[in-house]
């Protein structure tokens, strides 16, 4: 903000003028204060303009802007005339412009860029639904607030039904203008989509797709040349290509483009709200519980899947914390045998196949592909994935009461480690101290009720040694570390009802320990232990191993007696990833054409339903975590 100068008003329409925010061709934008003390932006048409139509256009701006729903836009609050000059009062957006951010920080990447794209498309959808065309969409007209991006300045907008073009006047900012704006044709909503794509390219690369420079050369490139998209990639790149089509009729609408980035069908009445929600920064999205039903996700008998599809299955557990301080209970019941909808994970080739009746769903995923370190957690209210953080590996508890994450940064610490716990009902984060260095935690897994988290304690060496396990209680805020003096290299998983732990020892031996580390049982010659720990199934309380006689077979053993209770046959290259419900388990199997399928199988190994699929190269590096929802 700059200080007021001589001739600036001290009051406009009952709003006290505090300072100058900016100045443009039409007038000055001031920082104002309403009678109630609310900060506002006051745009006042300047005097002495040569354009005789400026006054009429400014009045039109106020009328059109009031018709636009306040979704990712700066809401217009009032308008009128002061001292013979028209003014518009709008919501004050406290944040830099996108143009400033690009200049000072450089290009945006990853989830931040995607949120910006969704937010600005939400704004354009709201603008176009009101029958308005922005006609000057560019980085300078996007402000980055703490709640997400806001589109501002309808200074040269027109109602769609009143659009006219004067071939002698160029209205807009040339590097972001569409070909038809230079050719004497009507510039409608498709021109905004061209400008939107140009802005996204500039945001991702630092320069608009057709460059800048002398106007004749620039116009030639915009109307004749192919755009330079630089490092823009994935779904956003494909969408930008469509929006930069020379023919306005080939460009998608803002609504169509928004649905493309959201990746799933959304009822029309919910579209703008969901767009705004998905565009909000993580701290504003996951930090506050939904106004409607609070989250509910459940981890079943969790299984870390470090296999081809790197999938973790989890089972029942509680949703938001109850008044008694305990998290909510997970949803019960079997998985339906068919999928009825598809969800594409943004910027990946992975598709998740779902059914609204599913008690278990993909609750988070971690992107470990080269150059990417992002993780995402699903919001039960919107069913969309929200960015959780870089170098984080969040896993949601069964029932959705908590999100726990071990940051990769812990490996660089030299004093002690912490685990991040988010209480979903309140949005509060806590960092609990876990183990002192040189020890570190690996392979976290929630208990079936979602109330405790188990992790293996490892110390470095040649080879590294597993020296015990830790049990984290998020309700009590405690961490209990149990040291176990064994010569084995165990990876601990939950035993029956989370009252014990199990691990695989050399020679095909599986051992059961009490939570104080005392050995309870040992079962020799049962094979290499598989993912998931002990699960309660139609076969009883069982743990799984690769059968000692044939590693393509998975054997299920009674946790109390060690008796074999069943055998499942996996396809060549398949991996067992834990039980989904009492009758079905999760497996990853090679698909056709270099793909990998994440499949629901019955207790004999018969495929029942595909839950996710995608390129094997991507599923190797994008870890999906399945958890049981809340009731």
Cα-flanking dihedrals φ and ψ of residue 217, to 5°? -65, -40
The whole-number pLDDT of residue 61 equals: 63
- Whether the CB-CB separation of 79 and 62 falls below 8 Å is answered with yes
Q: Which of 107-116, 240-249, 353-362, 595-604 has the lowest mean pLDDT?
A: 107-116
Question: 322-342 pLDDT, tens per residue?
Answer: 434 577 889 889 999 999 999
Active site residues: 136
**pLDDT of res. 167:** 43
Question: What's the maximum distance between 2 C-alpha atoms anywhere in the chain?
Answer: 93
> CA–CA separation, 294 vs 124, rounded Å?
30
Sketch out the chain's domains with CATH numbers. 11-91 (3.30.200.20), 98-280 (1.10.510.10), 311-628 (2.120.10.30)
In this structure, of 157-171, 186-200, 261-275, 394-408, the range with the lowest mean pLDDT score is 157-171
- pLDDT class for 283, splitting at 50, 70, 90? very low
In this predicted model, what pLDDT tens digit does every residue of 54-65 receive, in sequence order?
566 666 666 767
Say how far apart CA 254 and CA 240 lie, in whole Å. 12
pTM of structure: 0.53
**CA-angle at 252, arms to 247 and 258, nearest 5°:** 155
Structure tokens belonging to residue 458: 């490892």
* Pair 298, 628: CB distance under 8 Å: yes
Task: Give residue 166's pLDDT.
Answer: 43
Mean pLDDT for 198-211 is: 96
Q: Inform me whether the pLDDT recorded for 601 exceeds 70.
A: yes
Specify the pLDDT at position 306: 27
Rounded (10°) angle between helices 234-243 and 254-262 = 170
Range with lowest mean pLDDT among 126-135, 145-154, 259-268, 546-555: 259-268
Distances (CA, A) of 382 to 295, 523, 541: 10, 46, 35
Q: Considering only residues 243 and 152, tell me which one the structure prediction assigns the higher pLDDT.
A: 243
Average pLDDT value for the chain = 83
Question: Which is more confidently placed, 350 or 83?
Answer: 350
CA angle 562, 563, 568 (to 5 degrees): 110
Is residue 616 pLDDT above 70, yes or no?
Answer: yes
The answer for residues whose C-beta is within 8 angstroms of residue 17's C-beta and 6 or more apart is 4, 8, 9, 10, 11, 30, 31, 32, 42
Per-residue pLDDT of 530-541, as tens digits, reads: 989 999 999 999
497 secondary structure, DSSP code: G
pLDDT digits (tens, 9 = 90+) for 120-149: 999 999 999 888 888 889 999 999 988 889
Most confident option among 176-185, 247-256, 379-388: 247-256
Mean pLDDT for the stretch of residues 587-592? 91
Q: Give the residues across from 502 on adjacent strands.
A: 493, 512
State the SS3 of 448-493.
CCCCCEEEEEEECCCCCEEEEEEEEECCCCEEEEEECCCCCCCCCE
Check residue 592 and give its pLDDT: 82
Strand partners, 540: 537
* pLDDT score recorded for residue 3: 87
> Looking at the predicted structure, is the pLDDT value of residue 110 above 80?
yes
Q: Does the pLDDT of residue 183 top 80, yes or no?
A: no
Query: What pLDDT does residue 47 have?
Result: 57
Is the link from the previous residue into 548 a cis peptide, with omega within 30 of 0?
no
Is 515 in contact with 500 (CB distance < 8 Å)? yes
Mean pLDDT of 336-358: 92
pLDDT score for 585: 95
- Measure the N-to-C terminal CA separation of the chain; round to a whole number of Å: 50
Q: How far apart are CA 276 and CA 284, in angstroms?
A: 11
Position with higher pLDDT, 69 vs 243: 243
Query: 360-407 pLDDT, tens per residue?
Result: 999 999 988 877 778 899 988 888 888 888 778 899 999 999 999 998
Residue 431 scores a pLDDT above 60:
yes
Residue 538 CA to residue 49 CA, distance in Å, equals 81
């Amino acid at each position: 903000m700059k200080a007021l100068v001589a001739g600036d008003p001290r009051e406009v329409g009952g709003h006290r003028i505090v300072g100058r925010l900016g100045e443009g061709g039409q007038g000055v934008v001031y920082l104002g204060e309403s009678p109630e003390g609310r900060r506002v932006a006051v745009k006042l048409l300047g005097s002495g303009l040569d354009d005789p139509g400026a006054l009429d256009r400014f009045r039109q701006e106020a009328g059109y802007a009031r018709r636009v729903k306040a979704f990712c836009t700066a809401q217009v609050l009032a308008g009128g005339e002061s001292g013979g000059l028209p003014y518009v009062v709008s919501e004050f957006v406290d944040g830099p412009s996108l143009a400033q951010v690009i200049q000072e920080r450089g290009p945006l990447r990853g989830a931040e860029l995607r949120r910006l794209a969704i937010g600005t498309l939400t704004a354009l959808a709201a603008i176009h639904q009101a029958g308005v065309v922005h006609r000057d969409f560019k980085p300078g007209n996007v402000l980055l607030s703490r709640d997400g991006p806001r589109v501002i300045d309808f200074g040269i907008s027109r109602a769609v039904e009143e659009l006219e073009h004067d071939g002698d006047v160029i209205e807009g900012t040339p590097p972001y203008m569409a070909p038809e704006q230079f050719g004497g044709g009507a510039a409608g909503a498709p021109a905004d989509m061209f400008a939107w794509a140009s802005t996204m390219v500039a945001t991702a690369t630092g320069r608009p797709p057709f460059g800048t420079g002398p106007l004749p050369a620039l116009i030639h490139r915009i109307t004749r040349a192919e755009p330079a998209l630089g490092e823009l990639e994935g779904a956003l790149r494909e969408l930008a290509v469509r929006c930069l089509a020379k023919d306005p009729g080939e460009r998608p609408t803002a609504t169509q483009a928004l649905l493309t980035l959201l990746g799933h069908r959304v009822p029309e009445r919910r579209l703008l709200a969901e767009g705004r929600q998905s565009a909000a920064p993580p701290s504003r999205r996951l930090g506050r519980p939904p106004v409607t039903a609070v989250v509910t996700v459940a981890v079943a008998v969790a299984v870390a899947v470090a296999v081809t599809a790197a999938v973790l299955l989890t089972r029942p557990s509680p949703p938001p914390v109850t008044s008694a301080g305990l998290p909510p209970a997970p949803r019960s019941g079997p998985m339906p045998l068919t999928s009825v909808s598809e969800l594409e994970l943004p910027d990946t080739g992975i598709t998740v196949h779902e059914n609204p009746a599913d008690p278990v769903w993909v609750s988070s995923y971690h992107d470990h592909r080269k150059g990417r370190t992002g993780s995402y957690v699903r919001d039960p209210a919107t069913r969309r994935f929200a960015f959780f953080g870089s170098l984080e590996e969040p896993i949601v508890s069964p029932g959705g009461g908590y999100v726990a994450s071990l940051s990769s940064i812990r490996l660089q610490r030299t004093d002690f480690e912490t685990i991040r716990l988010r209480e979903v009902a309140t949005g509060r984060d806590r960092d609990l101290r876990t183990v002192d260095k040189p020890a570190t935690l690996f392979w976290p897994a929630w208990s079936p009720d979602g109330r405790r988290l188990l992790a293996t304690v490892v110390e470095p060496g040649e080879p590294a040694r597993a020296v015990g396990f830790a049990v984290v209680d998020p309700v009590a805020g405690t961490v209990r570390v149990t040291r176990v003096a064994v010569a084995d290299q165990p990876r601990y998983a939950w035993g029956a009802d989370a009252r014990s732990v199990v691990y695989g020892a050399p020679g095909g031996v599986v051992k059961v320990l009490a939570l104080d580390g005392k050995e309870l049982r040992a079962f020799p010659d049962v094979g290499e232990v598989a993912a998931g720990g002990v699960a309660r199934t139609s076969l009883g309380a069982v743990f799984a191993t690769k059968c000692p006689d044939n590693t393509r077979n998975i054997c299920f053993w009674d946790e109390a007696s060690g008796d074999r209770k069943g055998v499942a046959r996996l396809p060549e290259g398949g991996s067992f990833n834990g039980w989904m419900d009492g009758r079905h388990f999760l497996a990853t199997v090679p698909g056709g054409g270099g793909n990998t399928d994440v499949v629901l199988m019955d207790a004999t190994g018969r495929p029942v339903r595909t839950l996710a699929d995608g390129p094997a190269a991507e599923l190797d590096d994008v870890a999906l975590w399945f958890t049981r929802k809340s009731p």
